[in-house]
Amino acid sequence: MDERRKINKERREKREKRLKLKNELTFGQVHVKYTEYSSLYHKSWKIMAQRVKRYLESLYNKKISEITKEDIQKIFDEITARKHYVTANSILKLLSPIFNKAIEWD
């Protein structure tokens, strides 16, 4: 009987995890929500939104929890390969508050 409870618990946890992932926002959805928030507090919100869209579009359909350091590093490397070092650093600076707000909103 104890084994059956353990199996049922594991199944329930897997189901809950799948449901949570299914309901989780994508980076694109978080970015839209952050842009709305940012427009209230930053004068340069349009420029920030355009930069994120331009350089991070490859992340738009990914769930927030599926984005890895390697994904960010790849984008950073692509930008720096074109010798746009300042842009690469500014993109990293823009990502931090977006992810922080995503955590806060979760």
What secondary structure letter does DSSP report for 60?
T
More confidently predicted of 19 and 7: 7
Is 67 among the domain residues? Answer: yes
Residue 56 · residue 93 · CB < 8 Å:
no
Supply the range of the domain harboring residue 94.
25-105
Is 10 among the domain residues? Answer: no
Is 18 among the domain residues? Answer: no
The pair of three-digit structure tokens given for residue 5, joined into one six-digit string: 């409870």
Give the Cα separation of 56 and 3 in Å (integer): 46
Tally the domains of the chain. 1
Please say if the pLDDT value at position 95 is more than 70: yes
52: exposed, middle or buried (Cβ count in 10 Å: 0-12, 13-18, 19+) = buried
pLDDT at 7: 79
Please say if the pLDDT value at position 9 is more than 90: no
Instruction: Say which CATH number the domain at 66 has.
Output: 1.10.150
Helix (H) or strand (E) run with residue 100 in it = helix 85-105
Residue 66 · residue 34 · CB < 8 Å:
no
Is 9 among the domain residues? Answer: no
pLDDT per residue over 45-55, tens digit each?
899 999 999 99
Give the Cα separation of 75 and 59 in Å (integer): 10
Is 90 among the domain residues? Answer: yes
103: confidence class by pLDDT, cuts 50, 70, 90? confident
Q: What is the mean pLDDT of residues 73-88?
A: 95
Is 51 among the domain residues? Answer: yes
Q: Model's pTM, two decimal places?
A: 0.73
